[in-house]
Copies of this chain bind each other. A is one copy, B any other.
Amino acid sequence: MLPESIKNFIESFSKLPSVGPRLATRLSFYLVNSGNNEIENLEKSLANLKRIKTCQQCFFIYDETRACPVCSGKNRNKQIIAIVEKETDLISLEKTGKFNGQYLVLGGLAKSGELDPQKRLRLKSLGERIKKEPGGQIQEIIIALSPTTFGDFTSELVKQELKPFAPKISRLAKGVPTGGEIEFADEQTLASALEKRI
């Protein structure tokens, strides 16, 4: 009944997070009725995503044409590093205007009993980086992971890994409601959680 092109569109787009077949179907008809300009605009937006690079130091993302905005920032304090789960958490912390250190994007939480190889590798590269600092340590590592079950669990694993590299390893204060996610916290709550870190 449905044209192949629509079926293919629905199949591809329904695999995206929070999209699913119903929304994908709706989008396909919406786009067919919107016309080629609208479709080409989206194609271009998608194509441009391929220009995005991942910083090999903090694992945040940046445009091919520029350097990583966090790691290359002149006034950033290299003595404090915040470990975040994902890119949007880094952005949320930046928006508070209360953090001037550097970051490591972990790239997810530990779901099974241990950290997967990608996360271990990222933590290891951070360790190598800190080793080169005078004294082989930095002042503080803030584990800014969500205070959920998986977040708490991952925080413990990260803490074990990073113990040798800072005298102080803290977590965000529970200003963020327990069980909630950093992504949905408002800026003020997040700012206060940052100030009162445990």
Contact = CB atoms under 8 A, between A and B. Distances in A.
B16 A27 contact: yes
Interface residues of A, number: 52
A5 to B, nearest CB: 4
B47 A43 contact: yes
B63 A49 contact: no
B30 A17 contact: yes
A154 B69 CA distance: 54
Contacts of A27: 16-17, 19
A76 B88 CA distance: 53
A48 interface: yes
Interface stretch (A31-39, A138-146, A190-198): A31-39
A99 interface: no
A16 to B, nearest CB: 6
A49 B30 contact: no
A27 B15 CA distance: 11
A55 B54 CA distance: 46
A39 B45 contact: no
A40 B19 CA distance: 18
